[in-house]
Structure 1
């Protein structure tokens, strides 16, 4: 529906699906405030802390990889219900875990839900949105992610303030860090309820042979005449070529993925390899290490997250007007410069037994650079990659290709999170210099390989020209 209206049902459906993004952000960032408490309360070392943090990402990779098949076989809504149920269950189980390995297991299962949500939200939103508004609506996913991160960090800060510390007891005799996990039950339940009430994707209904159901859903979503809805259904059917979605559509030959799939994988992986997770998963511990008090470190993390939210709002107004490609290029330049400044700032710091001590004004410069990096990411690679994952692939491969790209994103996130503690101990400046190299590589990839997809109906997406640089798909 290239010129469909922005109806209340489209908005409500977008918001409902994007609640999965909120849980994506909340569930993955909530551990930020518990990192140091875990060491004291559960007696875990740095290596196991890294596993606990990364276990959610490993689960997300598994969930993302399986999401495409589930979405095509059972529907987008049912996939959301499964993800939401995992969120509710594991939020409680993480809050009552009494040893590191058990907590890692529950975070892994919660991560499976996160991975599923990371695939189905952009997929579903792209499939219900009018083409001319698809980019703006799809940013709801990233907005929800950053709001989830912000909510987790603010919730953590308030809980620490109320209890007097992350390890101090709060209500029901539970320490504040356990409440950090338990709070997630509330948005998790809201996501399950939303999934039950949402209309199914009309493109999924066409794939399942339900032409009448797809036409009814299109009429409800876009308030168009029956003739227009039936024409849209026929257009969708034309892209299926009497075939069904299958993994084979991702390959151009035995063991050879199509260029469009490789492009999606590379974009998704680079989104994580620039090191954004380090800012949100380890920032509280990092700022404490460089001399800020516990509560100051919590609020600095929340401030950085608020900057992330504000920058994402800007992206909402730019993504359809400026285009995906141009935003990514500008963001890559900004991230590269900011990360290089952070690497330089940490190189000027002095290592002591208690952590890192900045000299002169380098502490302020590094803090500012961290927030510039967040802004550059939030107006570009943060929302745009998830938009592309939902829209850049043809109908026959969209769900499975999106799940493969999302799995690559989570796998890259695992690599970053597992290696950062060791890289930090080896060379903190070197770790940020490495992320700067990946940011520079992201610029080259977009410049050489990414076509523009803004304002094009999903049925026009083709894989044949995907390697053609800036040409349209």
Structure 2
């Protein structure tokens, strides 16, 4: 029952104590709803790209900026999320994100011009940034160590589910209207309803965040020991509770309020673990995963598929992403974080290199001054298979594992601030990749995918050299130096 979660002194059935994971799972699932909105807001633009381009008559460069504008908001939201979470609490941060998502849905859905659309895409991006920081931090802080990887992976599962839902909504609305630019209901085009549909999960996220407890580590940092003890009893059971509270207090001990200054260290100005978090974030984006989800409809149309077929392919790719994330959830606490990253990097390098070769050697035609590749014979099927195997490699590794590591690898006293910086770097990298792709696509898809393949190889080197295993390590044992 929800009362057990909210009432610090409530008795908890045996199945929901430290012997089980029912309560932590329910709480983590609610927190992960931010990831669903994160995924929806990020990918909903996919089905609307062509309609926006036609409606507002925008060129490639401006179109890329309009699409990527949400990422600017996400970077800003991520950078301030840690401060908000440390000052006002994890739940207030979730609720602020829900409000941002709701405003974005309404503003973009009714946007009269591209400038207003960009403004509200940025507002939605702020919500994405807040959610991208608070969900992994909160889930890590309420999860027992033995299942922290699985519960932390719920964030990525929610993200890819949000991507799938948005792409499915895009496809369904475009099909109902006979095209994304056609009117659907109440005189509004289908692409507008794609954005407005986000109101439903935004309201659900905000309301459900009222039903879960505050992070016990935040409560202890605020001196609210009684409340923290009650929440920990619900999550872990009564055994060893006093030692747990004292252990958390020791790692949170400080003379001043948490701030970005706590991240300073000897490794080029930052603590080593902070640089590792930034590196993981940047490589997660530089392999080009979001090109698949932001531009795949346009990409497949460019190589000969019609709008309906392109959206179908994109929906199938999203389903593949969900399935492989479930694989990661099943194995992350058994195999560990590092092995999954290594396997994923190798798989991404091979599949991206295959796509680089296919698009780099394809014949081309010039349409409206733009050189477009023409896939013939087996090139089309091979490109489709390689693209989906790339999603498999990413979905079972770098997708969920990076969020798990960002949530758990930082010491308690710097977790929110460090996660903010790492997530901010991730959104900045995402913005660079997203805004550059339209121009790169027009220049050469082969070179574009070749660049992503090189980044995948470098990500493998990065993991082998600097990323250590955190499987089964208590949060209170995390150090400023990389965990061995």
State the TM bucket, normalised to the shorter chain. over 0.9
Match in the other structure for 1:346: 359
1:384-440 residue CA offsets vs partner (Å, 9 max, x unmatched)? 000000000001111100010001110000000111111111111000000001100
Instruction: Report the CA distance between 1:293 and its aligned residue.
Output: 1.0
RMSD of aligned alpha carbons:
1.3
1:401 to 410, 418, 421: 418
1:282-337 residue CA offsets vs partner (Å, 9 max, x unmatched)? 00011011101110011000001110011111111111111000000000000000
Tell me whether 92-101 or 251-260 shows the greater mean CA deviation. 251-260
Match of 1:170, SS? strand
Match in the other structure for 2:214: 200
Match of 2:265, SS? strand
Match in the other structure for 2:8: none
Match in the other structure for 1:417: 434
Call closer, same or farther: CA 1:255–1:69 in 2, change over 3 Å: farther
Match in the other structure for 2:248: 236
Q: Is the 8 A contact 2:94 2:131 kept in 1?
A: yes
1:456 aligns with 2:473: yes
1:46-104 residue CA offsets vs partner (Å, 9 max, x unmatched)? 11111111110110000001101111111000000000011011101100001111101
Match of 1:97, SS? coil
Call closer, same or farther: CA 1:394–1:169 in 2, change over 3 Å: same
Where does structure 1 differ by over 4 angstroms across 4 or more consecutive aligned residues?
none
Match in the other structure for 2:347: 334
Match in the other structure for 1:441: 458
Q: Is the 8 A contact 1:348 1:362 kept in 2?
A: no
1:382 to 382, 399, 403: 399
Match in the other structure for 1:181: 195
Q: Which runs of 5+ in 2 are unaligned?
A: 1-16
Q: Partners of 2:434 and 2:19 in 1: how far apart?
A: 42
Q: Is the 8 A contact 2:355 2:449 kept in 1?
A: yes
Q: Partners of 1:7 and 1:347 in 2: how far apart?
A: 49
1:20 to 34, 43, 48: 34
Tell me whether 206-215 or 22-31 shows the greater mean CA deviation. 206-215
Match in the other structure for 2:306: 293
- Count the aligned residue pairs: 463
Q: Is the 8 A contact 2:103 2:123 kept in 1?
A: no
Match in the other structure for 2:446: 429
Match of 1:352, SS? strand
Q: Which runs of 5+ in 1 are unaligned?
A: 467-471
Q: Is the 8 A contact 2:107 2:116 kept in 1?
A: no
Give 1:172-321 correspondences, 5 Å limit. 172-222=186-236, 224-225=237-238, 228-243=240-255, 244-252=257-265, 256-321=269-334
Q: Partners of 1:234 and 1:274 in 2: how far apart?
A: 42
